[in-house]
């Protein structure tokens, strides 16, 4: 199919998606980006946020907690630390992720506290995106 790329989303637990996409919206650490066919090859790290895949089958959205995306001219592969389809993203799931992140903040060395706090805030922002 013209103007599509192969999209694969994998987390340690499972492969969540393997579809043709016209556009993949990625929550990158250095800013959000949209990958489309013909994109320059790049690798970016992910921050907690919503990853959207738009294609002939409609739009799929996943909450990711981190990981990285490898973008090529005809494929995007995302290796996520955790990825949860937004329809499974309940308040309880977000609360668990936030609690986990807060325990990391408590253990973080002083020079990493800011980054750990940002992780908590990014996860808290996910709370408003799920279906309840």
The residue extents of the domains of the chain are 5-86, 90-127
Give the pLDDT of residue 114.
Answer: 83
Helix (H) or strand (E) holding 10: strand 5-10
* Mean of the per-residue pLDDT values of the chain: 88
51 forms beta bridges with 62
Of all residues in the chain, the percent with pLDDT exceeding 70 is 95
Q: Give 20-68 pLDDT, tens digit per residue.
A: 999 999 999 989 999 999 999 999 999 999 999 999 989 999 999 999 9
Assigned superfamily of 5-86: F0F1 ATP synthase delta/epsilon subunit, N-terminal (2.60.15.10)
- Cα–Cα distance for residue pair 122/1, rounded to 1 Å: 35
Average pLDDT score over residue span 113-118: 80
Q: Give 31-44 pLDDT, tens digit per residue.
A: 999 999 999 999 99
């Amino acid at each position: 199919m013209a103007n599509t790329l192969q999209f694969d989303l994998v987390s340690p637990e499972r492969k969540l998606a393997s579809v043709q996409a016209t556009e993949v919206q990625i929550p990158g650490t250095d800013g959000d980006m949209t990958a489309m066919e013909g994109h320059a090859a790049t690798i970016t790290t992910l921050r907690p946020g919503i990853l959207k895949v738009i294609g002939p089958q409609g739009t799929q959205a996943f909450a990711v907690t981190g990981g990285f995306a490898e973008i090529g001219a005809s494929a995007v592969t995302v290796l996520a630390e955790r990825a949860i389809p937004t329809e499974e993203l309940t308040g309880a799931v977000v609360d668990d992720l936030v609690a986990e992140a807060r325990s990391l903040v408590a253990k973080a060395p002083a020079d990493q506290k800011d980054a750990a706090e940002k992780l908590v805030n990014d996860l808290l922002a996910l709370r408003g995106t799920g279906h309840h």
